[in-house]
Amino acid sequence: MTAYFAPTRDMQFVINELAGLNEVTALPVFAEQEVNPELVEAVLEEAAKLATEVLAPLNKTGDILGARLDPQKGVIPADGFAEAYQKFIDGGWNGLASSVEHGGQGLPELINTATQEMWNSANMSFALCPMLNGGAIEAISRVGSAEQKALYLQQLVSGEWTGTMNLTESQAGSDLSAVRTRAVPEGDHYRIFGQKIFITWGEHNMAPNTIHLVLARTPDAPEGVKGISLFIVPKFLVNADGSLGARNDVHAVSLEHKLGIHASPTCVMAFGDQDGAIGYLVGEENKGLAYMFIMMNEARFKVGLQGLAIGERAYQGAREYAKDRAQGRPVGVRSGDRVTIIHHPDVRRMLMTMKAQNEAMRALAYVTAQHMDLARHHPDPAVRQTHQARVDLLIPVVKGWETELGIEIASLGVQVHGGMGFVEETGACQHLRDSRIATIYEGTTGIQAADLAGRKLSMDQGAAMRALIAEMDTTAKELGSASGDDLATIRAGLDEGVRSLTEATQWMLASRDPNAVMAVSVDYLMLVGYVCGGWQMARAAQVAKNKLMTGQDPVFHEAKLITSRFYMEHVLPKASALLRSVQQGGVSIMALTEEQF
């Protein structure tokens, strides 16, 4: 398997030039932390070392060995994972963006996003453990009681303890109204009875305690989603002084055998096989669905990053193989030495497709993280609200579009390797297998599309989307009207993409048939993603052109300009095809009767 090296040069370009680091660090909360470009560069360099030297070498061995369930010892992670996790928390990485009040470092989400990309590129199975912990931290921070915050947050933020989300049941996947886990009141706590499936890192011995956040119903709860409550269920009960008490009645009873992410234990968790697992209500009864979405939105954004991360790892492997593998002669040459396959036009097409889409995904994800920072920390409530509207609009796009592209890019990685990509030796297979889950968990692509088209778009009658399109138009105008150069081609491509997005949005808002809207919602989500990616690549091209005029880092900036042009010529045209699908494709999707399938 090819070694992983964090693309820190492109990360810093996006952070500084596209995601507005200066605007983020000017916020009072970060000014107090003295966050500046030099600090960011140092953080990225140290994160890259951990990702490259510690996490990446465990990716293949973890895939082969996997996690295992021992009847006496519980779930045992793959060799080396416990030691790597200790290095991870010793470095303070778990609490990078958490508040200083709870022991975190208080850095911007923008910087945390770059490190999250690294962890997932290096070792996605490992990265899932702190990712789920982040959702638990966010939920308890926002809706937990003062006592719960004092009891759990310090250890969760440090990573000394880990956190999980326990939502899914065998009959209740995306339809949480079917949750049947019971919560029976008993004094100041509840007894939890039920079984949860697909619980990522639900059991392990890398940390002395795991804090489960569990959806369940109280005895008098109404049916449906209005009757769901959220509970903290520790693996070990926590005494008032923070020390660990007795083992709670919650256990992993089996591990799923999966297509990928073998080193991440996906557990079936049993609550209350004996006397009932002791749980503590978070917030109010029957408000669990709202609290769950606090965790879910956190997770959806980070799962979107997994699409980018796997795409980057697959690209690096394919690129290095293409530079090393000698096969055939250049087109039109019948004699002489054979050349490496990177000289062949079709291999170049595949590598450029991987590279361009990775860079577009990185830019969109990091810009979304910038909006998160401004939505959380800007001193003006109106400004916070504006940025939150942008975050709400983009999260389903980041989650859905980027994970779909992650699979596509990983598949192209196999293709670049040829026959060697279809065997496990090169690692290309693992990237494809690992990438496949990202479009499924934390809400499938269809669910993200339904959220975007059926909720985010309609809740403000398209105002947030129109504001986004207006910014894209501004970018196109700033590219100028000159003809015959790269920027002219890029502007023409962006203009066409924006027209497609505008027309598709108008159609979605005008339709009065919810089935028709839902039938083409994934096409609409992908269209939005491609155009958003094109917008960011156009912005990147403009910066690169200006840098080239002053002679700054010509190798990097010329590559950025060419890659942006490639995106406009070979990737963004998909938006026009998707427009036709949005406007005309819903009829055929719903036309067959059930018997005709």
Give pLDDT, residue 174. 83
Report pLDDT digits (tens) over 300-326.
999 999 999 999 999 999 999 999 999
For residue 173, is pLDDT > 90?
no
pLDDT band at 334 (very low <50, low <70, confident <90, very high): confident
101-105 average pLDDT score: 94
pLDDT at 213: 97
Beta strands in 54-95 (DSSP E): 68-70, 74-76
Least confident segment among 175-179, 219-223, 410-414, 588-592: 175-179
Angle, helices 463-478 vs 486-510, to 10°: value is 160
SS3 2: coil
In the predicted model, is pLDDT for residue 587 greater than 80?
yes
Structure token digits, residue 178: 């079917």
H or E stretch at 253: strand 250-255
The one-letter amino acid at 235:
K
User: What pLDDT was estimated at residue 404?
Assistant: 98
Q: Given the DSSP bridges, would you call strands 266-271 and 189-200 parallel, antiparallel or unpaired?
A: antiparallel
> Which alpha helices (H) appear in 325-462, and where do they start and end?
345-377, 381-417, 428-435, 445-451
- Predicted confidence at residue 32, as pLDDT, reads 79
Q: Which helix (H) or strand (E) holds 292?
A: helix 288-324
pLDDT category, 593, cuts 50, 70, 90? very high
Q: CA-CA distance, 483 to 238, in Å (whole number)? A: 68
Q: Which of 176, 155, 149 lies closest to 165 in space, CA to CA?
A: 176
- 246 pLDDT band (50/70/90 cuts)? very high
Buried-exposed string 100-115: b where 16+ CB fall within 10 A, e elsewhere? eebbbbbbbbbbbbbb
- Specify the range with the lowest mean pLDDT, choosing from 152-166, 265-279, 333-347, 352-366: 333-347
Q: Is the pLDDT of residue 332 over 90?
A: no
The number of helices, as runs of H, and strands, as runs of E, in the chain is 22, 12
pLDDT of residue 139: 95
pLDDT at 483 over 70: no
DSSP category for residue 101: G
Catalytic residue, from 17, 169, 298, 442: name it: 442
* pLDDT average, residue stretch 212-226: 94
Domain boundaries, given as residue ranges, for the chain: 8-158, 162-287, 462-583
Q: What is the mean pLDDT of residues 433-438?
A: 98
What does the CA dihedral 9, 15, 17, 18 come to, rounded to 10 degrees? 120
Burial category of 44 from C-beta neighbours within 10 Å (exposed 0-12, middle 13-18, buried 19 and up)? buried
Among this protein's residues, is 408 annotated catalytic?
Answer: no
Is the pLDDT score of 224 beyond 80? yes
Question: What's the rounded mean pLDDT across residues 133-149?
Answer: 95
**What is the arithmetic mean of pLDDT over 537-556?**
96
Q: What single letter denotes the amino acid at residue 286?
A: N
Task: Give the model's confidence band at 164: pLDDT under 50 very low, under 70 low, under 90 confident, else very high.
Answer: very high
- Evaluate if residue 17 carries a pLDDT over 70: yes
CATH fold of 162-287 reads Butyryl-CoA Dehydrogenase, subunit A; domain 2 (2.40.110)
Q: Which of residues 225 and 256 earns the better pLDDT score?
A: 256
H or E element at residue 557 = helix 554-566
Tokens 């990177």, residue located: 342
**CATH 1.10.540.10 fits domain 8-158:** yes
Tokens linked to 40: 């960011």
Q: What contacts 188, CB < 8 A, 6 or more positions away?
A: 280
What is the mean predicted confidence (pLDDT) over 166-172?
92
Closest CA to 192 of 152, 133, 136, 232: 232
| Structural contact between residues 358 and 315, judged by C-beta atoms closer than 8 angstroms | yes
Residue 532 tokens, joined: 């958003």
199, β-bridge pairs: 267
In angstroms, the Cα distances linking 463 to 393, 460, 467, 506, 511 are: 10, 6, 6, 12, 16
Mean pLDDT, residues 570-593: 95
3-state secondary structure of 212: strand
443: left (phi over 0), alpha (psi -120 to 50) or beta: left
Q: Which residues of 366-389 are buried (b: 16+ CB within 10 A; e: fewer)?
A: bbbbbbbbbbbbbeeeeeeebbbb
- Res. 4: pLDDT tops 70: yes
Which residue do the tokens 């932390």 mark?
33
Residues 431, 406: Cα–Cα separation, whole Å: 9
Whole-number pLDDT of residue 481: 67
| pLDDT bracket for residue 482 (50, 70, 90) | low
Q: In Å, what is the CA distance from 133 to each residue of 38, 245, 296, 319, 597?
A: 28, 21, 12, 34, 42
Query: Phi/psi at 530 (nearest 5 deg)?
Result: -60, -40
Question: Which pLDDT band holds residue 428 (cuts at 50, 70, 90)?
Answer: very high
Task: Quote the tokens at residue 189.
Answer: 């706590």
Evaluate whether 488 touches 545 at the Cβ level (below 8 Å).
Answer: no
* Spatial distance between the Cα atoms of 492 and 509, rounded to a whole number of angstroms: 26
Degrees (nearest 5) of the Cα angle 77, 79, 82? 60
What is 462-502 written as a DSSP string?
A: THHHHHHHHHHHHHHHHT-S--SSHHHHHHHHHHHHHHHHH
Q: Is the pLDDT of residue 1 over 80?
A: no
Token pair for residue 143?
Answer: 């809706």
- Looking at residue 484, what is its pLDDT? 66
Assess whether pLDDT exceeds 90 at residue 176. Answer: no
| Cα–Cα distance, 107 to 104 (Å, whole number) | 8
Residue 215, both tokens = 């959806």
